[in-house]
Structures are given as structure tokens and as C-alpha cells.
Amino acid sequence: MPTVYCNSIDHIIWEESFHGSFFNRNQVRVWRIPVISDQELLIKYESFLDPDESAQARAFHQEKDNRRFITSRAALRFLLGKYLGKKPAEIRFGSGKNKKPILPDNEPLHLHYNVSHSGDWILFAMADIEIGIDIEKIDDQFGFEEILATAFSQDEIDYLQKQKNPSETFYLWWTRKESMSKATGKGIDDNLRDIPCLDGLHQLADEIAGSVQAWAILSFPVEKQYIASLAYDSAIQHLRFAEINPHLVVQ
């Protein structure tokens, strides 16, 4: 029967350079970048976008949403260009089941990617296998109790209510469920209660696991008040974490 192993690490070393190969088989690399606030730099980022993306950026009413979209899309084009040996403007995007992002033209790498953002941070995950990533900014004022019954099993709810800081635990568990949902291409409303989130090894129903027999979900801090989780095939042997220098994107 398919399984998933949930675990956390307390500290991440974010590499600060782009040395070495971008793509390695049997490896997941997670990249992070802050949302750009410098207007001059943001204009350079927007030059990477195609006309539809530029129109989408302008459609945001909130400046913070506009900045986050431009940063995310330009940095994604930059990264994918490095992996695929193309210029950022040459990258073509598509979508699969439940709008999961895919690359129509990525032979021979079979590259997969996933994106998540919250607050001031954006994360990208890249690998040659199915992956999912989710980041959340912890909001101690958020009334999460209202959605517990739809997103968590009764055992998880009982355990959560015993925690010293239930708000932090909620966000940790939420990122685990959402990263798994994104990795498998399931909708966020599909079987969310049935995706395990407690530490340890769990069995999965076939309809949740998809084609992978043994998943891993690793949770980690991104910055103060930010938690993230990465879901991936447990056969993967190497995980790497790296910074994107915002100024290198446009050089």
C-alpha cells in the first residue's frame, strides 16, 4: 500500500551561488526569493513577461499583489531558462490536471516545477519527478478553527487542540496537506482530510498517492514566521536549498 513519511527540520542552509549544474537526476532543489520592492528592479523584471502576463500583472488592484506576481513570474522564467538552456522569454507554460503547472517543451529533462508564495517570500521547487511545495506566513490572528472539520481528520483535530501553539501547528500541517495535494495534481478540496500530516509514517489510499508508492513530506522554516513543506517521491536521495539573488535575475 502507498505510504507517506512526514518529517521536519529546524534549520536550512540556503546556498548563495549558482555554481555547478542546475539539473541533476534524483535531486530536488528548492529556491527562494523575496518579493521585489525596488521599483527600478521591478521594471526590469516585468520586461521578462509576455503580453498576457503583463496584462495579468496590471489587473491586480493591490500593489503588493502586482509586485509578487511580477517577481514570481520573472524569477520562474529565469530559473527555467537556466535549467533548459533557453532565454527567459522563450519559456512556454502549460497546465495539467487541476491546473497543475507543466512545461510542454522540456525534453529531454522531463523537468517538473512547483511554485508557492505567501507574504514577502516566493518558493520554487525543481526536479525530474512530481513535486509539490507550499509556503505559509503564520498569522496568529487567523481563525483556523472554522475550517478544521473540512481539512483535518478527527484524530488530527484532537491532537492539534492539545498543542501549546496550535496556530503554528495548523500552518505546519496545512503546508503538508497542500504540498501533497499539489504534488499529486489533486485539487485542494479532493480528499484533503485524508492526506496525513502528523509526524511519522502513514498509509495512503491509492486515489491519493497517484503513481508514487512512497512519498515524503519535509517541512522547514523559510524565515521567521514562515513555514513551508515539500512533497516528493521518497526515492529522491538529494535535497538542496538555494537563494536567488534578485539582481542576478536581470544580469
Do the domain assignments include residue 51? no
CATH code at 174?
3.90.470.20
The per-residue pLDDT for 92 is 85
Number of H helices and number of E strands within the chain? 7, 11
pLDDT at 190 over 80: no
Q: Which of 179, 171, 155, 161 is nearest to 233 (CA)?
A: 179
Do the domain assignments include residue 216? yes
Do the domain assignments include residue 71? no
- CA dist 183 and 232 (Å) reads 7
The per-residue pLDDT for 124 is 97
Do the domain assignments include residue 230? yes
pTM of the model: 0.93
Convert the pLDDT of each residue in 194-204 to its tens digit.
999 999 999 99
Do the domain assignments include residue 68? no
Q: 3-state class of 68 per DSSP?
A: helix
Q: What is the DSSP letter of 220?
A: E
Range of the domain at 17: 3-35+94-250
Do the domain assignments include residue 157? yes
pLDDT at 107 over 70: no
Do the domain assignments include residue 43? no
Do the domain assignments include residue 69? no
Domains in the chain, number: 1
